[in-house]
Structure 1
Amino acid sequence: MSQQVLDPVTGAAAGPARRRPRRLALAWATAHDAGFRGVLIGLGLFLAIAVLGPFAYRADPSTVHLSNALKAPSGAHPFGTDEFGRDVLARFLGGARISFLLGVTSVLGAAVVGTFVGAFAGFYGGWPDSVISRFLDGLLAFPALIMGMTLALAMGPGALPAGLAVAITGIPWYARVVRSEVLSLKSREFVDAQRALGASRMHILLRHVLPSVLGGVSVQASLGVAYAVLAIAGLGFLGLGVQPPSPEWGSMITEGRTYLTSGQWWISVIPGVGILVLVSLSVALGERMRDYFDPYGKIHY
């Protein structure tokens, strides 16, 4: 008599045709989680706005019209204008693209470099691990924002230096997370089995150990986007990030803060709301992903 197979998500009986591999089960469970769907839809809409918004709304974010300065939101300018008469909606859409792309690329760079550095240190151990760990400890001794400001000052203002500064400050966090996971994985039975079969250390690291830590890295990266967006906005607020007249949310808040007390709130508040929404969605995505990758979470495979 054949053994009955249970569906990994619903728990119902499933035949051979209904067996799902773990990744497919994760996708199936995600599709049935309304909260996760909401977060993904929100991020998808935000990405569409950032990429397609400037094409749909054709106003030039850098064109100066002093006669239209400080106009309240209206049909002609849905988000109003700033002190130079530039359309705030056009600048908001341009800033969304810059903030999103800079945040994602800086996180990807930090995650890739930090993953390989931490995996190498944890798997090989010995003096390489000691040297790398002490170097990472030294980087972590400085507050991330202070280090980012220092690196941005050293490299000069601009979008690329700001993205590099945020990426460099994030590398130690990924490296430490991956190192701790690799230290626990390298003593597992599947690693010993690969060694017994004659596999090289590099083969074991790349083909068997690294894939096992990508879940934790993806969770850290999802949460890291929120930090990256805030850090880039902070550098722009201090004049160390994207430089005018290019639209960037942090610099927009700086430009409009002097007009908050005189009633022109839209110049600063609208980009601030954009930062709040993007950071909230990134944090929510990280929390949801942690629930699914946590072996003691609500869904088991």
Structure 2
Amino acid sequence: MAELAGTTPPITNPTAAQEERVISPWRDAWRSFRKNKLAMAGMFLVAFFILIAIIAPLIAPYSYDVQKMADKHLAPSAAHWFGTDEFGRDILTRIIYGARISIWVGCISVAGSVIVGSTLGVIAGYYGRFIDMIISRVFDIILAFPSILLAIAVVSVLGPSLRNALIAIALINVPIFGRLVRSKVLSVKQEEYISAAKAIGMKDSRILFQHVLPNSMAPIIVQGTLAIATAIIEAAALGFLGLGAQPPTPEWGKMLADSKDFILDAPWTVIFPGLAIMLTVLGFNLMGDGLRDALDPKMKN
């Protein structure tokens, strides 16, 4: 008996072992995301510009709106790393503060688009029929216009300002999220747990916002990240046309517009704001592609 007792294998808890092997979908997505070097590079770029935007008053060497005509169009130097503009303002300082404007406009406009578009998409996909037809036709009408032209039209009606540019950018992105969520809801509402929720008498509002919408979050996150990059470009385009941020606000698109006449005489006034836009948009695009690969089961091996 002692020998048998000595050879008895240790008792294990199969449930605990299974729990250790279970990996949550979000943790699995994070592991996949970390393996993508380009996605991680994009995330670091985005984090870098967000950090700059947060601590702008602490790291900016000068005030962004103080003009010194004696320092007009100074080339990059130890005193002014990125040179100065036509009013003698430090370009590095204006780019640092401009990060606040561009990222703020991108994130807030996309957040508004996600809230409105997702709500309309959920309602259209879940209820269908007449409601779906009306909402879908509204989306089709908005998408029939080129996005930048529609944004210009909206800002022209509301008046040139950063706030109105934000509203215009949010409006043109609503159908993108609405159609994305609608298509996801059409597949999710056929699942058995939705039928079970209806069978036990759960209200539609609870089903929509506790079951349907949370299971549609993955594509929303991916599209939202990519949409921020597009929103930053659209904000810069509106600023370049004089329809976005107004002087002396240091918005990157407006900086390009103010410097377009000095490309040959002072190229640094155009190069550095353009690089800021390019790197920020590149960071969001790389991060969005990485999130798509990590969250979409079809993209996994």
The two structures have a TM-score, normalised by structure 2, of: 0.91
1:198 CA drift (Å): 1.9
Q: Which has the higher helix share?
A: 2
CA distance in 1, matches of 2:120, 2:72: 51
1:33 CA drift (Å): 4.1
Task: Mark the runs of 5 or more structure 2 residues left unpaired by the alignment.
Answer: 1-10
Larger radius of gyration: 2
Do structure 1's residue 25 and structure 2's residue 28 form an aligned pair?
yes
Deviations 1:84-142 (Å, cap 9, x if unpaired)? 11111111111111011111110111111100111111101121111111111111111
Do structure 1's residue 208 and structure 2's residue 211 form an aligned pair?
yes
Match of 2:282 among 264, 280, 283: 280
Match of 1:131 among 123, 129, 134: 134
Do structure 1's residue 188 and structure 2's residue 175 form an aligned pair?
no
Match of 2:156 among 153, 157, 182: 153
Which amino acid is the alignment partner of residue 185 of structure 2? V
User: Relative contact order (C-alpha < 8 Å, sep 6+): which is higher?
Assistant: 2
Which residue of structure 1 aligns with residue 85 of structure 2?
Answer: 82
CA distance in 2, matches of 1:38, 1:92: 21
Give 3-state SS (helix, strand or coil) of 2:298's partner: coil
CA distance in 1, matches of 2:29, 2:142: 36
CA separation of 1:190 and 1:15: change in aligned 2, threshold 3 A: closer
CA separation of 1:102 and 1:297: change in aligned 2, threshold 3 A: same
1:58 CA drift (Å): 3.7
Give 3-state SS (helix, strand or coil) of 1:63's partner: coil
CA distance in 2, matches of 1:54, 1:257: 27
Deviations 1:134-190 (Å, cap 9, x if unpaired)? 111111111110010011111111111111110011101110111111112212222
Match of 1:239 among 242, 246, 249: 242
Which residue of structure 2 aligns with residue 271 of structure 1?
Answer: 273
CA distance in 2, matches of 1:255, 1:76: 22
1:2 CA drift (Å): 8.4
Which amino acid is the alignment partner of residue 167 of structure 2? L
Which residue of structure 2 aligns with residue 109 of structure 1?
Answer: 112
RMSD: 1.9
Deviations 1:5-53 (Å, cap 9, x if unpaired)? 9xxxxxxxx6543533222333344344443332222211111112213
CA separation of 1:85 and 1:174: change in aligned 2, threshold 3 A: same
CA distance in 2, matches of 1:170, 1:196: 36
Which amino acid is the alignment partner of residue 159 of structure 2? G
Which amino acid is the alignment partner of residue 276 of structure 1? M
Do structure 1's residue 69 and structure 2's residue 72 form an aligned pair?
yes
CA distance in 1, matches of 2:45, 2:169: 24
Match of 1:197 among 197, 200, 205: 200
CA contact (8 A) 1:158 1:243 kept: yes
Which residue of structure 2 aligns with residue 165 of structure 1?
Answer: 168
Do structure 1's residue 227 and structure 2's residue 217 form an aligned pair?
no
CA separation of 1:36 and 1:4: change in aligned 2, threshold 3 A: farther
CA distance in 2, matches of 1:32, 1:223: 20
Which amino acid is the alignment partner of residue 298 of structure 2? Y
Deviations 1:226-284 (Å, cap 9, x if unpaired)? 1100000000000000001111100110111111122x101111100011001111111
Which amino acid is the alignment partner of residue 140 of structure 2? D
Which amino acid is the alignment partner of residue 275 of structure 2? V
Which amino acid is the alignment partner of residue 217 of structure 1? I
Which amino acid is the alignment partner of residue 233 of structure 2? L
CA distance in 1, matches of 2:31, 2:139: 39
CA contact (8 A) 1:54 1:90 kept: no
Which amino acid is the alignment partner of residue 149 of structure 2? I
CA distance in 2, matches of 1:234, 1:131: 31
CA distance in 1, matches of 2:12, 2:199: 34
The two structures have a TM-score, normalised by structure 1, of: 0.91
Which residue of structure 2 aligns with residue 8 of structure 1?
Answer: none
Once the two structures are aligned, what percentage of the paired residues are identical?
Answer: 36
How many matched pairs? 290
Question: Which contiguous aligned blocks of 4+ residues in structure 1 show a shift greater than 4 angstroms?
Answer: 1-5
CA distance in 1, matches of 2:38, 2:257: 34
Task: Mark the runs of 5 or more structure 1 residues left unpaired by the alignment.
Answer: 6-13
CA contact (8 A) 2:84 2:269 kept: yes
CA contact (8 A) 1:122 1:179 kept: yes
